[in-house]
Every structure is written in structure tokens, then in C-alpha cells.
Amino acid sequence: MLPLPLEQLAEQLRLLPGVGKKTALKYAFRVLELSDEQAQNLLATIAEVRSNIVSCVICHHISESDLCSICANTSRDDSQICVVEDARDVLAFERAGSFKGLYHVLGGVISPMDGIGPDKLNISSLLGRLDEVSEIIVATNPTVEGEATAMYLTKLLAPRGITVTRLAYGLPAGSDLEYADEVTLARAIEGRRSL
């Protein structure tokens, strides 16, 4: 009973996280109500994000050029790399403002249940960055998969003489770093412990 294009739009919108059938339909109808100009702007903005946002060639953070603004900043401390799951975690730490080192975005966590092994993550590129590095701070989320990934990285890095530390969690177990407040995140990084 729903016109096919509208149904297809709702189906596409369900690709977004947290959007179920009902919400997708609500959004699809809202798109229908947009003015031509608003709809064009939305399309153009999506296209622009797709073509202009790339992954930093060093750390895999989102970037508008080959090097992200953090890797390009020569005043950052290149002896420390904070390893995170995704770009939103970098943004969270940058908002907290207490970390002055560099980052490495894994692009996920090891999760055998979902068929994600270490080979699917940006780990080999991390191993290629260790020359100047004395400490790797593993800042994966405090979930089962995040902990397993931290253990994997520790086993990989410790024999290379690199100190591997983990965030001190005043962060609740199972929580998402991205939603931690700035004070909690700043404390978590200051109170990090050796693995």
C-alpha cells in the first residue's frame, strides 16, 4: 500500500544505526515533506561527505586530505599512540583535550562472533608506526571484544619493548567511550595502567 519509492527509501534509511521500521518510515515521510531545495542540499551534502572525507594514510582517522590534522601537527608527542576503535573515539579524546600524542584508529574490534579477526583491523599499519613510539595506550571500549582486542595488542607489542597501557576505567564496563564525559575521559587517560 506504500508507494514503492517511499518503501525503498525507508528500507535504505534502515541502514542507519538505531533506525527501525517505524522510524525509517517516519524519516521517509519527512524527506517527502522537505522543500526541493532542502532535499537537494541533503543529497549534495551526502555526496560531498562521501567524496571529500577520506581516511588518514597514517592513523586512519577521518580527514579531508591524505594526512589528518593530528598527524600533520608537528607539535604532537609522537612517542605515544592512543589506539581507538573508531574515529568518533578520537573526537571524544580531542574534546577532552588532555592527550597530546597521536592516535591509531583500528576500525573496529576483534569479534570472532561477527567474523572479525585481527586481519580485518588496521593492525599491520600500527606495527609500521612503532619507530619513535615508547608507549601505546589501548583505548578500546570496556566491552568483552574491546578487552580481547587490548590483550591481543599487548601480546603483539610487549615483546617489541613498547609499554602498553590501558585506560583506567572510571568508565562503566560495557559503556561506549564516545559517550563518556570529558572529565571521565581525561581521568581515564591520566590514570592509565600498564598491561
What is the contact surface with Zn ion in residues (CB under 5 A)? 56, 58-59, 61, 68, 71
Instruction: State the nearest-atom distance from the C-beta of 68 to Zn ion, in Å.
Output: 3
- Which residue lies nearer to Zn ion by CB, 104 or 187? 104
Instruction: State the nearest-atom distance from the C-beta of 17 to Zn ion, in Å.
Output: 24
With contact defined as beta carbons under 8 Å apart, do 139 and 86 qualify?
no
Instruction: State the nearest-atom distance from the C-beta of 101 to Zn ion, in Å.
Output: 12
3-state SS class at 27: helix
Instruction: State the nearest-atom distance from the C-beta of 181 to Zn ion, in Å.
Output: 25
- Which residue lies nearer to Zn ion by CB, 34 or 72? 72
- Which residue lies nearer to Zn ion by CB, 9 or 56? 56
The closest alpha carbon to 83, from 170, 189, 172, belongs to 189
**Residue 126 burial (C-beta neighbours within 10 Å; 0-12, 13-18, 19+):** buried
Chain centre to alpha carbon of residue 171: 17
In order of 72, 121, 146, the CA distances from 154 in angstroms are 27, 15, 12
176-186 burial, b if ≥16 CB within 10 A, otherwise e? bbbebeeebbb
- Which residue lies nearer to Zn ion by CB, 28 or 121? 121
Instruction: State the nearest-atom distance from the C-beta of 105 to Zn ion, in Å.
Output: 8
Strands 62-63 and 163-166: unpaired
- Which residue lies nearer to Zn ion by CB, 9 or 81? 81
